Structure 1
Amino acid sequence: MTNAADWLLYNARIWTGEAEQPWAQALAVRGERIVAVGADEEIKKLAGLKTSCVDAGGKLVLPGFIDNHTHFLIGGFQLLSLDLRTVTCKEEFIAAVRQRAAELPSDAVLGGGGWSNDQWTQTDLPHRSWVDSFTRERPVFLHRSDLHIAFANSAALRLAGIDKNSPDPVGGQILRDEDTGEPTGILKDNAVKLLQEKLPAPSPEEYDQALQAAMDCALRSGVTSVQDVTAWRDWLDWECLLRFQKKQALAVRIYARTQIHEWEKQLQLRQDGFADDAWLRLGGLKGFVDGSLGSGTAYMCEPYDDAPETCGLLTEQMLPEGIMKERLAAADRAGLAASLHAIGDKANQLLLDIFEEVEAENGPRDRRFRIEHAQHLRREDIGRMARLGVLASVQPGHVADDGCWAEKRIGAERCRTTYAFRSLLEAGVPLSFGTDWPVVPLDPFQGIYTAVTRRTLDGKHPEGWVPEEKLTLEDAVRAYTLGGAYAEFGEQEKGSLKAEKLADLIMVSQDVFQVPVDELPKTKVLLTMVGGQVRYKNKD
């Protein structure tokens, strides 16, 4: 057969994501694209002598997941360093750092992260004295799980030149001992950069190892595309992506977003000849309005309940007043997309003001402004997002963590519109899902489970934290597939299983549409295909 398929899947239960044909039994792939989706009988007609035919055995097949917010290389480096995600107390934190220090060469920086004191039996923030006795000359630099706080030992603080006389940077804070004024080792938001900039950069080989580890993790998780927050770091991050693109070694599609205060660099790359392809695209800009609720730097309309002296912080990118609007308007005139991090209700309000002003100034177009996280919203701003066509780029995995402690910070009433997924969807706000990896594990089924149950890690909300904001399972899957494609202007190419779209799909161990909700997190990816090639196959 001249037009035979290269690969054919049959005897499957396929959720296509397409309203006209939501379910199918089989699909055929030629090259990197789907050529047909339908019933077994008709699709099998496309088989030729060289067609690879796969009997799915009735398993569920879904479009490949699209993660709307990753720190992909950071996640890869964390896979190769100290992971503190399972630490539950001070003693375990110290023991983990001690063991890692014993494993490393004497001159190596001890890096890693994932710790969250809010999940510990005692919630005190780490202090440099915890580890100084066995890391005297070795810098220790460990991000908190939200990436807005970092822990540094005394050696790392010396490396950064941080002492009792160091002023807090704009948009950041150096925590200090109340009696001595000496730094405790905790750095918040922009204060983290004071140390980060002094650490030795990884080698190109280390970068390549981190990217490969990140891609392997994504494929095991059924993630075929990521919308990344990509740092320049003297161009090392970008050059790593280019190396893989040029040798056709990318196995996951990357939509790379870079910092808004350096927006001109993207234009320069275009002028220098960079061209998007199906594997690596420049995805516009990422900016920050405020910090995080966990670090007490989310910018709120009213003071924190547990810290009434503060309403949070605006980031350095917002200062001086008006600079964010100026940069965003210029980038928008240049045709660049923009997505901005906003956590606090005041931060979201200010960002919507800026979006509205830029649109009025530059005129209508399909710009798809995005709010990353859109975490704490005033009820009236949900309606504004819909009216302005602003996308909610949200990460449901945060609900499981934040729901354990958010009410201590801002009270129950303000939490009624925290992670308001159902309200956003019903208001007509485009919704996409992701993880914020490595803040949350790169596992879509954990996020889907949380979106439909809103259960928290402490087990105290079996019926869901703010249960009126639960989603249906189909809404959650759609936000992770078609919603993600729309967020990156890619809905004509991917996000659903349809003839002529890219052959990005997964087969999973159980039918998530039919199993009890408690079983959702147990779902395993059996096969991941990206661009018509099987990139991962579960061997268990």
Structure 2
Amino acid sequence: MNSNPPSNKKAFINGKVYTVNDKQSLAEAVLVEGNKIIFVGSTDEVKKMIDASTELIDLNGKLMLPGFIDDHVHFTSGGFYLQGIDLRPAKSTSEFKEILKKYAEKNKGKWITGGNWDHEAWEVKDLPIKEMIDEFTQKTLVFVDRFDGHMALANSYALKLAKITKETPSPEGGLIVKDPKTGEPTGILKDNAMQLIYSIIPSSTKEETYKAALTALNHAKEFGVTSVQDITYSQDLATYKRLEKEGKLNCRIYTRMAIANYKNLVKDKIHVGYGSEKLKLGSLKGFADGSLGSSTAWFFESYNQDTTTSGLAMDIVTDGNLRDWSIDADKNGLQLCVHAIGDKANNYMLNLYQEIIDKNPKWERRFRIEHAQHVRFEDIPRFAELGVIASVQPYHAIDDGVWAEKRIGPERIKYTYPFRTFLDNKVMLCFGSDWTVAPINPLLGIYAAVTRRTLDDKNPNGWIPEQKITVEEAIKAYTINNAYAAFEENVKGSIDVGKLADLVILNEDILTIDPVKIKDVKVDMTVFDGKVIYKR
């Protein structure tokens, strides 16, 4: 008979443990029992607390951090993206066409969607037009989006099926781009205009969504991501519930449902904190404007590149619905997370949040502005005054930094991705990827925040270098700060006794290496809920 029955204890020893707890920031060892951390301290102390049945994992001096939390993802969409066409690698119009042509040949009769193209990476920075792809997609429906998700290219076949012609007016909060000479649609649809095509694309089946979610889960664990805060649709939620029931949900998901449907949550008496350790509800996502890359981010002044526009306020802003929904949702204990990129959109949201505070009963509401990308310096202290979380995506800074100045000029870029100024003004700064807009890998986000070296390598000392932050600050923005943003700082986000055993071990010490090398660091191990779910 075995005298040492299997134990549910794991001891991680001989490591460098960065706890993200300022009272005990460094340790050597962590003892886990079940899905909880029961001790943090020295290797000698842990060895006195274990027996032969304890699983012993020697870290050999490697760095352990709390499991990464990504505070802004499109998770199931990411799974679909991994399964479908990838236009992001295209560095020219010819490469864009060639990738699309080959994919169309292999997928005849199917809708081609997704793609994540970036015209700013091409030799010609003009937006693509339908004529570029019509020749080889005459019998294939195409609607491929720019990587920011705020505009997409349709071929002539798709435009015809959607009945979009030169006479079709642009919807409120959207734009059908038309040829200035002929008036014909170019194939580019922006923001709300994209819905004209999306409405005719068949919905994914339950099994397709399930497969996409599994693909996303398998991808996330390779990068040490143990929690995500997701923009969630009803079929996604049903899929996550199924995965949790089957024991396959190896990433905690904090859902954010569409604000337009907030009354469904109210009716079901759902509010902040509702759900299980692995799946939470109670948060809402809305949009105030578009994106910088699509020239639909909403600014006070017009774009330098196109002085005919200052961006687009979403239709729910102009018709008053965002205001009304937000006030009522807040009154019912639901968290508000609203996308705002341009300086006017951010100012609008701060004003709305102030109005809600003035109107509604006091509670721990933790407002969020998603992206908070271009914020006038005079508006930044208001984030702290109103308790608004700046939910930002650092990788966007080194991507947009390649071309942002030609969009908005040298003055406005000074308050673009103002991470250092946020922190100096005691604003709660939280990091995410916006996957699939950017890679889900948090180490790339940390690298971006710390170095601000743009993807074209033209800013070796950092783009707007005064906004760089430290590695420690960036780690906190990917762990404990994000736990706070989801009302979960007492159960995860740091390596502390009693917290969930979500951990990541890296192959290099990002606290001591040259920050430029952080982008090449790999995850050696991911621990979720006390179980090792990934080993490199």
Name the SS of the counterpart of 2:135 in structure 1. helix
Distance 1:152 1:33 in 2: 50
What amino acid does structure 2 have at the position aligned with 1:299?
A: W
Name the SS of the counterpart of 1:82 in structure 2. coil
What amino acid does structure 1 have at the position aligned with 2:529?
A: G
Q: Is the 8 A contact 1:4 1:47 kept in 2?
A: no
Question: Are positions 1:56 and 2:65 aligned together?
Answer: no
Q: Is the 8 A contact 1:5 1:48 kept in 2?
A: no
Report the equivalent of 1:92.
95
Superposition CA RMSD, Å: 1.6
What pairs with 1:352-431 in structure 2 (closer than 5 Å)?
Answer: 352-431=350-429
Distance 2:474 2:87 in 1: 29
Name the SS of the counterpart of 1:465 in structure 2. coil
Name the SS of the counterpart of 1:131 in structure 2. helix
Q: What's the CA shift for 1:49?
A: 2.9
TM-score in terms of structure 1 length: 0.96
Report the equivalent of 2:159.
157
Question: Are positions 1:113 and 2:115 aligned together?
Answer: yes
Q: Is the 8 A contact 1:301 1:345 kept in 2?
A: yes
Report the equivalent of 1:199.
201
Question: Are positions 1:307 and 2:306 aligned together?
Answer: yes
Name the SS of the counterpart of 2:48 in structure 1. helix
How big is each residue's C-alpha offset from its partner over 1:91-142, in whole Å with a ceiling of 9 and x where there is no partner? 00000001111222x2211122211111211111111111111111211121
Sequence identity percentage: 44
Q: What's the CA shift for 1:237?
A: 2.1
How big is each residue's C-alpha offset from its partner over 1:279-304, in whole Å with a ceiling of 9 and x where there is no partner? 11114101110001111111101111
Q: What's the CA shift for 1:326?
A: 1.3
Q: Is the 8 A contact 2:270 2:281 kept in 1?
A: no
* 1:475 to 1:205, Cα distance in 2 relative to 1, 3 A: same
Distance 2:332 2:118 in 1: 40
Q: Is the 8 A contact 1:4 1:48 kept in 2?
A: no
Gapped regions of structure 2 (runs ≥ 5)? none
Q: 1:329 aligns with which of 307, 327, 330?
A: 327
Report the equivalent of 2:287.
288
Distance 1:241 1:165 in 2: 42
Distance 2:16 2:8 in 1: 20
Report the equivalent of 2:472.
474
What pairs with 1:115-264 in structure 2 (closer than 5 Å)?
Answer: 115-231=117-233, 235-264=234-263
What pairs with 1:453-472 in structure 2 (closer than 5 Å)?
Answer: 453-472=451-470
Distance 1:420 1:434 in 2: 15
Distance 1:2 1:424 in 2: 52
Q: Is the 8 A contact 2:274 2:282 kept in 1?
A: no
Say which is worse superposed, 61-70 or 361-370, in terms of deviation.
361-370
Distance 2:260 2:327 in 1: 12
Question: Are positions 1:526 and 2:524 aligned together?
Answer: yes
Say which is worse superposed, 31-40 or 322-331, in terms of deviation.
322-331
Distance 2:491 2:237 in 1: 24
Distance 1:310 1:23 in 2: 51
What amino acid does structure 2 have at the position aligned with 1:162?
A: I
Report the equivalent of 2:49.
46
Q: What's the CA shift for 1:271?
A: 6.8
Q: What's the CA shift for 1:4?
A: 6.7
How big is each residue's C-alpha offset from its partner over 1:23-78, in whole Å with a ceiling of 9 and x where there is no partner? 01111111111111100011122223321111111111000110010011111100
Report the equivalent of 1:451.
449
Name the SS of the counterpart of 2:422 in structure 1. helix
Distance 2:326 2:111 in 1: 37
Distance 1:331 1:318 in 2: 16
Q: 2:485 aligns with which of 484, 487, 492?
A: 487
Distance 1:44 1:151 in 2: 60
Distance 2:366 2:201 in 1: 36
Distance 2:321 2:349 in 1: 12
Q: Is the 8 A contact 1:261 1:317 kept in 2?
A: no
Q: Is the 8 A contact 1:283 1:488 kept in 2?
A: no
What amino acid does structure 2 have at the position aligned with 1:336?
A: L
Distance 1:45 1:427 in 2: 45
* 1:184 to 1:261, Cα distance in 2 relative to 1, 3 A: same
Q: Is the 8 A contact 2:172 2:314 kept in 1?
A: yes
Distance 1:15 1:101 in 2: 48
Report the equivalent of 1:535.
533
Q: Is the 8 A contact 2:73 2:231 kept in 1?
A: yes
Name the SS of the counterpart of 1:329 in structure 2. helix
What amino acid does structure 1 have at the position aligned with 2:182?
A: T
Say which is worse superposed, 199-208 or 60-69, in terms of deviation.
199-208
Q: Is the 8 A contact 1:13 1:25 kept in 2?
A: yes
Q: What's the CA shift for 1:269?
A: 4.3
Q: Is the 8 A contact 1:373 1:393 kept in 2?
A: yes
Distance 1:198 1:46 in 2: 61
How big is each residue's C-alpha offset from its partner over 1:221-255, in whole Å with a ceiling of 9 and x where there is no partner? 11110001112xxx322221221122221011100
Q: What's the CA shift for 1:5?
A: 5.7
Name the SS of the counterpart of 2:283 in structure 1. strand
TM-score in terms of structure 2 length: 0.97
